[in-house]
Amino acid sequence: MFKNILVNALVNLGDVVLTTSALALIKKNFPETKITMLVKPVVKDAVIDNPVVDEVIILNYKAKENSIQKMRELVGDIRRRNFDLAISFDRKLRPALITFFARIPRRVCPSKVFDDNKSRVTLLYTDVVEISHDLNKTLQAETYQEIVRKFFNIEGHETPKFPKKFSPVADKLLDRLPQKNFKIALCVKGTFPLKTWSKEYFAEVVRELQKKFDAAFFIVGAPNDKPYADEVIAEIGGGVENFCGETSLTDLAELFRRADLFITVDTGATHIAATTGIKMVTMYGCTSPDRWHPINKNAVALTSREPCCPCTCKAKECPTYPKPACLQNVTPAQVLAAAIKFLGES
């Protein structure tokens, strides 16, 4: 079989984490195979020192730079590594061109992966794996694994993998929390408005949990989430630490390992948390938990299953804007019930 595989995963954080389930399936069946991942800089911490990734190539691409020269350098680097197979977990043009011009002899992509639209990009590949299942009714990790199963003619299911590293940053951040019986993590902002549960709802949940449990709360997120997180804390009335922008991805995973509960919207951090086994409650708006449910036996996914979901609407295009029904109908009472059950079990 193939001994030196390049995996293209120029996708967002959550998807990069989910693709590692497919790499785990390859490693399980072909443990001597070397796997190198091509990723964007922002997600590198998810794959460096990952147990199913042997090497990482980072695509440092910026539109204002000489992108043609950058691509030539990258193609030359990849050609020198003598890969015998390239697997793409997306159908983007850039990785297709990179592997084509690097002359990797076998290049594999799926017939579909994020939507059902056909793409001419598949013409640049030697093998196109037919994906026949309904994407919206199948866990995305299973779609990635199906690409691998069909191409290699293997069976099985694996879970996503994430690096586990010592994190002094996590120690320092947790030292900022008051001494309480429980540590509860929150992620309050999605990548776009139809993923973001309301500040008022988050505030209601936290205030009720503060009444019922001896708990310390902290918010995690990207650096640009910090101002919004401060607004949520103000709505709560204080008493919550804002850790947004203060962690690497591996620091974030360590925070989840030490916390007792994670209450979150659907975002990349959800899938990182799932790899740690933390008890978690996730609220879904325009996306479907049938596809994006965290792969964690300790996870509860809440959705109102509106007839229009899943959708790709912009916030102001939503028929029920400014209060999208998909998020408005996932209530604080539902979140509280799940959280209280988890904390009660603890």
In sequence order, what are the residues at sequence separation of 6 or more whose Cβ sits closer than 8 angstroms to the Cβ of residue 288? 136, 303, 309, 310
pLDDT at position 64: 55
Query: What confidence score (pLDDT) does residue 62 get?
Result: 65
Q: How far is CA 271 from CA 36, 129, 217, 291, in A?
A: 21, 25, 20, 12
**Rounded average pLDDT over 165-171:** 93
Q: E strands along 149-260, which residues?
A: 182-187, 215-219, 240-242
pLDDT at 172: 97
Cα 117 to Cα 40: distance, rounded to the nearest angstrom: 24
Tens of pLDDT, residues 43-95: 999 999 999 999 999 988 665 566 778 888 899 999 999 999 999 999 999 89
233-262 confidence digits (pLDDT tens) = 999 999 999 999 999 999 999 999 999 999
The pLDDT, as a whole number, for residue 237 is 95
pLDDT(96) > 60: yes
Type and span of the H or E element at 283: strand 280-283
- Structure-block tokens of residue 344: 């009660």
Q: Mind listing the pLDDT tens digit for each residue in 122-159?
A: 999 999 999 999 999 999 999 999 999 999 999 999 99
- Residue 36 scores a pLDDT above 80: yes
Among the listed ranges 59-68, 190-199, 211-220, 323-332, which one has the minimum average pLDDT value?
A: 59-68
Beta bridge partners of 6: 36, 86
Give me Rg for the CA atoms of the chain: 21
Task: Check: CB of residue 311 under 8 Å from CB of residue 320.
Answer: no
Tokens at residue 74, please?
């990258």
Which pLDDT value is given to residue 12? Answer: 93
Domains of the chain from N-terminus onward? 4-152 (3.40.50.2000), 168-345 (3.40.50.2000)
Distance CA 250, CA 159 (A): 18
Pairing mode of beta strands 55-58, 34-39? parallel
Question: Distance between CA 29 and CA 1 in Å, rounded?
Answer: 10
* Mean pLDDT in residue range 152-172: 96
Q: Residues with Cβ < 8 Å from 316, sequence gap 6 or more? A: none
Distance CA(289)–CA(284), nearest Å, equals 7
Show the CA angle centred on residue 112, arms to residues 12 and 276, nearest 5°.
40
- Between 131 and 193, whose confidence is greater? 131
Compare 268 and 64 and report the one with higher pLDDT. Answer: 268
pLDDT tens digits, one per residue of 283-341: 999 999 999 999 999 999 999 998 888 887 777 778 887 778 888 899 999 999 999 99
Return the pLDDT at 65.
61
